[in-house]
């Protein structure tokens, strides 16, 4: 696949699917104020994905609505982390923490992309992602130093989520060209920065970061291989849209 398309689809699908998942918390959060904050970040993710699908559209792909609401599992390039059900709040927070650290670093790097339209988007959403990471850090630090119950839950969530989080950095065949053309620094370098970034926060908590080299990353998402959770998600998301994909809703 064309390296631009390859990169954009991965980024856009991640944000769409995670934004969709996180919106499931809307109205069900642990405290009203957090409910509001979490919804804002889910909306931001949808907004980011829309901007990226628009770049894809400019490159000749279908309209954002068509791309988002009519494809099926094998055509999605999100990492499997994003498609897992919301679970309990410990998991959703941990996923948010691990994903958004990578996302902030990714967009900071993309601000220097040789592909100017993408660099522009990256520079624009930097402030939003800064809030997302501040939010995630505050919660992980608080819960990761709180009651025994909270520390146990967050530790379990960390251990469960990490192999999926490592799947964020799964590369595709386009990776060498993505790097050589200056589109993006590449997943290996991103992962290196991410490890440093999450380690710094976790070091301020009672949580223990396992040796990442001993974990087996859950991959496949970037190549259209997904968990059993993605297709039901897509069917649900498109339930109304697919009643008539040509209609104006």
Partner 1 sequence: MLFSLDPRISRLELPDSALPPPDKAALDQFPTYEVFHQRKENTAYVYVGPVHAPEADVAFLFGKEQFSRRFPCTGMWVVLTSAIKVTEYGDDQQSVYDRLPLLPADEIGTADASGLESYDIFHLKKRGKAHAHVGQVSAASPEAALQAAKASFGDQRPVVNVWVVRSADLLRSDDDDRDMWTTTPDKKYREAISYKVQDRIDRFKQEG
Partner 2 sequence: MYGSASTHDIPNQATTGLENEDPILLAEFEAHIARGEKIEPTDWMPQLYRKQLTRMIEQHAHSEIIGSLPEGTWITRAPGFRRKMAQMAKVQDEVGHAQLLYSAAETLGKTREQMLSDLINGKSKYSNVFNYPTPTWADSNVISWLIDAGAIVNQMANAKGSYGPYCRALDRICAEEAFHLKYGHDAVVHLATGTPIQRRMMQEALNRWWPAIMTFFGPSDKMSTHTEILMRWKVKMATNDACRQQFLDMYVPKIWEIGLTLPDANLHKNEDGVWEFSEPDWEDFKRVINGDGPCNAERIAVRRAAEENGAWVRRAMQQPQARYVRPLA
Binding site for partner 1 (CB under 8 A): 24, 28, 31-34, 36-37, 39-40, 43, 47, 85, 124-128, 130-131, 134-135, 138, 142, 236
Which of 46, 109, 111, 209: binder of partner 2 (CB under 8 A)? 46
Tell me how crowded residue 54 is: count the other CB atoms within 10 A of its CB: 18
167 binds partner 2 (CB under 8 A): no
Quick one: residue 29, left, alpha or beta (phi over 0 = left, psi -120 to 50 = alpha)? beta
Q: Closest separation between CB of residue 243 and partner 2, Å?
A: 6
Q: Closest separation between CB of residue 123 and partner 1, Å?
A: 10
Which of 61, 65, 108, 159: binder of partner 2 (CB under 8 A)? 65
Q: Closest separation between CB of residue 3 and partner 1, Å?
A: 27
163: Cβ contacts below 8 Å, ≥ 6 apart: 215, 216, 217, 218
Pick the closer one to partner 1 by CB: 60 or 127: 127
- The Cα–Cα gap between 115 and 101 comes to 22
Which of 1, 28, 59, 196: binder of partner 2 (CB under 8 A)? 28
Q: Closest separation between CB of residue 113 and partner 2, Å?
A: 23
Pick the closer one to partner 2 by CB: 109 or 150: 150
Nearest partner of 36 among 45, 48, 26, judged by Cα: 26
- Site for partner 2, residues 97 to 156, rule: CB under 8 A: 142-143, 146-147, 149-150, 153
Q: Closest separation between CB of residue 164 and partner 2, Å?
A: 21
**Stretch binding partner 2 (CB under 8 A), from 36-44, 159-167, 187-195, 216-224:** 36-44
88 binds partner 2 (CB under 8 A): yes
Pick the closer one to partner 2 by CB: 183 or 202: 202
Given partner 2, partner 1, none, residue 249, with its beta carbon under 5 to 8 Å by kind, binds partner 2
**Count of residues binding partner 2 (CB under 8 A)?**
46
């Amino acid at each position: 696949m064309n390296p631009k398309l390859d990169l954009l689809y991965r980024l856009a699908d991640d944000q769409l699917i995670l934004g969709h998942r996180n919106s499931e918390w809307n109205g069900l959060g642990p405290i009203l104020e957090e409910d509001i904050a979490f919804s804002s970040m889910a909306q931001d993710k949808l907004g980011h994905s829309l901007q990226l699908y628009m770049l894809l559209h400019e490159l000749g792909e279908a309209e954002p609505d068509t791309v988002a609401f009519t494809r099926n599992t094998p055509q999605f390039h999100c990492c499997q982390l994003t498609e897992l059900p919301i679970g309990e709040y410990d998991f959703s927070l941990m996923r948010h923490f691990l994903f958004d650290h990578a996302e902030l670093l990714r967009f900071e790097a993309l601000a220097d992309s040789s592909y100017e339209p993408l660099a522009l988007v990256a520079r624009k959403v930097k402030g939003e992602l800064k809030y997302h990471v501040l939010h995630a850090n505050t919660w992980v630090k608080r819960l990761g130093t709180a009651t025994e119950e909270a520390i146990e839950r967050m530790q379990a969530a960390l251990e469960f989520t990490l192999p999926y989080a490592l799947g964020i950095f799964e590369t595709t065949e386009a990776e060498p060209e993505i790097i050589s053309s200056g589109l993006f620094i590449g997943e290996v370098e991103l992962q290196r920065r991410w490890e440093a970034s999450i380690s710094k926060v976790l070091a301020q908590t009672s949580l223990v970061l396992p040796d990442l080299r001993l974990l087996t990353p859950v991959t496949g998402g970037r190549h259209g291989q997904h968990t059993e959770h993605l297709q039901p998600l897509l069917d649900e998301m498109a339930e109304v849209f697919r009643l008539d994909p040509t209609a104006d809703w």
